[in-house]
Amino acid sequence: MTDKLRALYVLGRVARTGSFGAAAREMGLSQPSVSRVIADLEREIGAALLSRSTRAVTLTEAGVQYLARIEPVLAVIEGADHEARGTGELRGVLRVGATTSFAVRELIPRLPIFMQRHPSLRIDLVIADNRQDLINEAVDVALRFGVLDDSSMMARKLGTSARMLVASPAYLERAGIPKKPADLSSHALILGPSGMRPDGWIFRSQGKSVSVRLEGRLNISVNEAAISAAIAGLGIASTSIWGCRQEMQRGELARVLADWEMGTVDVHAVLPAGGSSKPASRAFVEYLSETMTTISGSAQGL
């Protein structure tokens, strides 16, 4: 590997890990060597690419733009190496972004088979309940729900899940079971990520559409916490099948207003716009597409 190409790979690893030390360990180098490589690269380019502090190493504005330009080139080189080997073996690091709930419930259980198939591949999970900046956070594949904001991103739809209302049997026994959407006005509502909708909750049944204004007594920004609150009997929560499947199967939650539909939510695998995606990204998205078909669809039977 030439010195310049090696320096570009080092920059990518430092940006991904946010640490000179972590990047050094991954690449089998000493931390001073990594620091020296980055310093030489910045001197050659004539711009600071990384901002160093005692807490973290982050990309500067110039660094974000530079990495966005070079990563597609590195992906092309990685793809060429992959094809030249002709073994199908994936190497390097794949950085995947996902929400806490989806990572714990659906993504991590699917990793063992994929990682067994590709023992030379390392996966970095970036778990956050806000949408990651694919470029600034150097994410190779992000899993996102709902409507995609940026149409320039490369995306593949992985599945669709029905939205639904759930509550604990104890809460429903105490507060009563709603028979129609209007009955929700007398119930405690838990507004989690799936419930924070500016247009309220929309229900449809037999060609009729009803909108319910949201006045939640408890607002929670993370699905896992909203589900825990529902299990604790604090009220009725809005979620998707993916967000509460296990609890419903165990009888900890029951579906509310099952005769009314609340629409669906799509999950997409999103890749940075422009350039070529790395072989590991394509293989991972294909694997998810194959395995997630088993959990797509309606909420019937739950």
**Among the listed residues 244, 123, 152, the one whose alpha carbon sits nearest the alpha carbon of residue 194:** 244
How confident is the model at residue 297, as a pLDDT? Answer: 44
Q: Is the pLDDT of residue 199 over 80?
A: no
Confidence of residue 191 (pLDDT cuts 50, 70, 90): confident
How confident is the model at residue 298, as a pLDDT? Answer: 47
Confidence of residue 207 (pLDDT cuts 50, 70, 90): confident
282 part of a folded domain: no
**Among the listed residues 273, 239, 281, 280, the one whose alpha carbon sits nearest the alpha carbon of residue 256:** 239
More confident residue, 106 or 1: 106
Q: How far apart are CA 18 and CA 238, in angstroms?
A: 36
More confident residue, 216 or 184: 184
Q: How far apart are CA 71 and CA 243, in angstroms?
A: 34
215 part of a folded domain: yes
How confident is the model at residue 294, as a pLDDT? Answer: 46
| Token digits of residue 117 | 């198939």
Tell me the average pLDDT across 209-229: 86
Of 11-25, 109-123, 250-264, which range is least confident? 11-25
Q: Is the pLDDT of residue 234 over 60?
A: yes
**Among the listed residues 110, 145, 127, 177, the one whose alpha carbon sits nearest the alpha carbon of residue 243:** 145
Give percent above pLDDT 90 in the chain.
Answer: 32
Q: Is the pLDDT of residue 180 over 80?
A: yes
Q: Is the pLDDT of residue 30 over 50?
A: yes
DSSP characters for 35-85?
A: HHHHHHHHHHHTS--EEE-SS-EEE-HHHHHHHHHHHHHHHHHHHHHHHHH
pTM score over 0.75? no
Contacts of 75-82 with CB under 8 Å at 24 or more apart are 75/275, 75/276, 75/277, 75/278, 75/281, 76/275, 76/276, 77/5, 78/278, 78/279, 79/276, 79/278, 79/279, 82/279
234 part of a folded domain: yes
231 part of a folded domain: yes
More confident residue, 146 or 254: 254
150 part of a folded domain: no
How many CA atoms, within 13 angstroms, populate the side-chain half-sphere of residue 259? 9
Confidence of residue 135 (pLDDT cuts 50, 70, 90): low
How confident is the model at residue 203, as a pLDDT? Answer: 92
How confident is the model at residue 194, as a pLDDT? Answer: 66
More confident residue, 6 or 299: 6
Give percent above pLDDT 70 in the chain.
Answer: 85
Helix (H, G, I), strand (E, B) or coil at 243: helix
Question: Which residue, chain included where needed, has tokens 């060609």?
Answer: 207
Q: Is the pLDDT of residue 231 over 90?
A: yes
Tell me the average pLDDT across 124-134: 80
Q: Is the pLDDT of residue 87 over 60?
A: no
Tell me the average pLDDT across 64-86: 73
How confident is the model at residue 9, as a pLDDT? Answer: 81
Q: Is the pLDDT of residue 283 over 60?
A: yes
Q: Is the pLDDT of residue 274 over 70?
A: no
213 part of a folded domain: yes
How confident is the model at residue 206, as a pLDDT? Answer: 87
Q: What's the CATH number where 257 sits?
A: 3.40.190.290
67 part of a folded domain: no
Most confident listed range (88-97, 112-121, 197-206): 112-121
Count how many domains the chain has: 1
| Secondary element (H or E) of residue 9 | helix 3-17
217 part of a folded domain: yes
Q: Is the pLDDT of residue 300 over 60?
A: no
